[in-house]
């Protein structure tokens, strides 16, 4: 299994990149997000997803592990193939997509070409808890703005504690991040106490 390819970026288009590593040119399908991240670079490191089918062996490249994890989650949803997943990651950043899933914004997900109402709803239902469990939904931006960084260790511990208390991870994560953005120095126990009052 190929984890990543690191080498010289010899060709790049908004949908495809060729990376030369140890004398071999690897062709990788990429999203617009990855294209934006690598287009001006000479040396790149792309995390790889291998799609092995009977009729083809296709490589997908991602600028970050988070984007690859999101891609892998998307293709577990019935009705979402590799091309649709790549299209979604071209239309939205990982943070925007996480925000749409966690807030149940089916309309925003449907705005991606090839994603219908049923598929958008399936994506929300199937992935809402998974994006939190895997830590992909780190700082979910409020109202599309970039969220202030939060203490990840405190956040993860607080979410884990609240999940063990029986709360659903997705809304819990949102409340915890909000608390830590407003009061970044709070210890875990205080965050948990505040969150217990706010989680609906």
Q: Tens digits of per-residue pLDDT, 76-87?
A: 999 999 999 998
Nearest alpha-carbon partner for 165 in 193, 140, 130: 193
Q: Could you tell me the two tokens for 194?
A: 């505040």
Q: Is the pLDDT of residue 200 over 70?
A: no
Rounded Cα gap, residues 179 and 147, in angstroms: 12
Q: What is the pLDDT of residues 101-119, one digit of tens each?
A: 988 999 989 888 778 999 9
The pLDDT assigned to 81 comes to: 92
Strand 4-12 with 24-29, pairing? unpaired
The pLDDT assigned to 148 comes to: 53
The pLDDT assigned to 185 comes to: 86
Q: Return the residue matching tokens 């409340």.
A: 175
Q: Is the pLDDT of residue 134 over 80?
A: no
Q: Average pLDDT of the chain?
A: 86
Rounded Cα gap, residues 59 and 52, in angstroms: 9
Average pLDDT of 137-163? 64
Q: Is 177 left (phi over 0), alpha (psi -120 to 50) or beta?
A: alpha
Q: Could you tell me the two tokens for 192?
A: 């948990």
Tell me which of 112 and 140 has the higher pLDDT. Answer: 112
* Angstrom distances, CA of residue 161 to CA of 46, 100, 179, 188, 195: 34, 25, 15, 9, 11
Handedness of CA 134, 149, 86, 92 (dihedral sign): positive
Q: What is the pLDDT of residues 5-48, one digit of tens each?
A: 999 999 999 899 999 999 999 999 999 999 999 999 999 999 99
pTM: 0.68
Rounded Cα gap, residues 137 and 108, in angstroms: 17
What pairs with residue 44 in β-bridges?
7
Nearest alpha-carbon partner for 6 in 49, 43, 34: 43
Q: Is the pLDDT of residue 140 over 50?
A: no
Count other C-beta atoms under 10 Å from residue 97's C-beta. Answer: 27
Helix locations, 75-168, DSSP H: 82-91, 94-102, 106-110, 117-133, 152-164
């Amino acid at each position: 299994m190929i984890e990543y390819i690191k080498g010289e970026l010899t060709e790049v288009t908004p949908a495809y990149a060729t990376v030369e590593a140890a004398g071999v040119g690897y062709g990788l399908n990429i999203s617009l997000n990855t294209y934006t991240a690598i287009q001006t670079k000479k040396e790149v490191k792309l995390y790889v997803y291998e799609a092995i089918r009977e009729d083809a062996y296709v490589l997908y490249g991602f600028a970050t592990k988070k984007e690859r994890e999101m891609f892998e989650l998307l293709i577990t949803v019935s009705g979402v193939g590799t091309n649709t997943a790549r299209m979604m990651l071209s239309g939205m950043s990982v943070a925007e997509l996480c925000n749409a899933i966690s807030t149940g914004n089916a309309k925003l997900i449907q705005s991606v070409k090839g994603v219908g109402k049923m598929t958008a709803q399936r994506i929300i239902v199937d992935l809402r808890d998974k994006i939190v469990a895997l830590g992909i939904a780190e700082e979910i931006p409020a109202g599309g703005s970039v969220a202030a960084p939060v203490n990840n260790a405190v956040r993860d511990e607080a979410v884990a504690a609240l999940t063990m208390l029986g709360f659903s991870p997705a809304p819990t994560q949102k409340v915890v991040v909000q608390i830590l953005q407003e009061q970044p120095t709070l210890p875990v126990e205080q965050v948990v106490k505040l969150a217990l009052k706010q989680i609906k």
